[in-house]
Amino acid sequence: MAPLATLQPLDAPRVAAAASAPAAWRAEPARRAVDAGPRSRYVACAGLEVHVTEWGPADAPVLVAWHGLARTGRDMDDIAAHLAPRWRVICPDTPGRGLSQWSANPAADYCLEAYARTAAALFDALDVAEAHWLGTSMGGAIGLVAAAGALRGRIRRLVLNDVGPSLNPVAVERIRAYAGQPPAFATVTELERYFRTVYAPYGWLSDAQWRRLTESSARRLPDGRVTPHYDPAMVQQFAHHPRDYERWDEWDRLDLPVLCLRGEDSDLLLRETAEAMRVRGPRAVVVEIAGCGHAPALNTADQFAVVERFLTA
């Protein structure tokens, strides 16, 4: 087993030591274990059915954990399971991904503003008054847009996993190229080999984690081959909304604590962008994660720890 990643702060982050859970959450360990999850449910949101994997007691403080562009909510299994004893962790599949409904109008529904409206509808449907938000890549951008707009005041703390208010266009084009033309394979083994290649920048994953990633993000085509789970039309976001990820105006309007995790070798969130995030707008705490590119998989103990310290500070 490879060693855990090392967290390297860009700016000696003053993240408080992990706070003890409230008294209510230190009690009833048996009930918390039973309630930990995961639980699968389907919710009507802004005209589309959204699949959600939910962890933790229903009356615990809420954390929404939103996945990246071509991924599913199951990417959050490891950190959600870790946090479930004291948090209600809600992990949606974005429309067009996983088990959520595909859009009949991709140009309108596959963009950050539409995803933010979906998030607000999800909060209402699940009776979530307020929550913290953890988002990887696109999931972080959705949180940023929602915190500045549709969910302003209802997102209390924001964790951005290797994403910011501006992205490297070269990396965006790389992601768009592989996501826009999903390959198909005769076997699941071949699909897993493909995922291990394109998602190598995630950093270390165990064999079991690679297998789960593959099985939770595959679908069969009519000819029997397997392909990634998502609607290929979701990349129309980049054609119809070419500046969708340029969000400095929203960044400067944010008034909440922000933690930015940056993969040490990330080609999407450049170091100069992370530095700008540290000194303007909400002045994010920026932590760099060694051994990862875009984006850290949030699956190791030290990654859990830095997120948990921020959420409980």
**48 bridge partner residues:** 45
8-state DSSP, 73: G
pLDDT value, residue 28: 53
Confidence of residue 5 (pLDDT cuts 50, 70, 90): very low
- In degrees, rounded to 5, the angle at the alpha carbon of residue 67 between the alpha carbons of residues 64 and 70 is 155
Pairing of strands 285-289, 7-9: antiparallel
Q: Residue 144: what residue type?
A: L
pLDDT exceeds 50 at position 223: yes
Section 196-223 average pLDDT: 98
Residue 1 or residue 248, greater confidence:
248
8-state DSSP, 26: H
Residue 111 or residue 4, greater confidence:
111
Section 174-184 average pLDDT: 92
Tens digit of pLDDT for each residue in 6-42?
444 444 333 333 333 444 444 455 445 556 779 999 9
Task: Domain 32-312: give its CATH code.
Answer: 3.40.50.1820
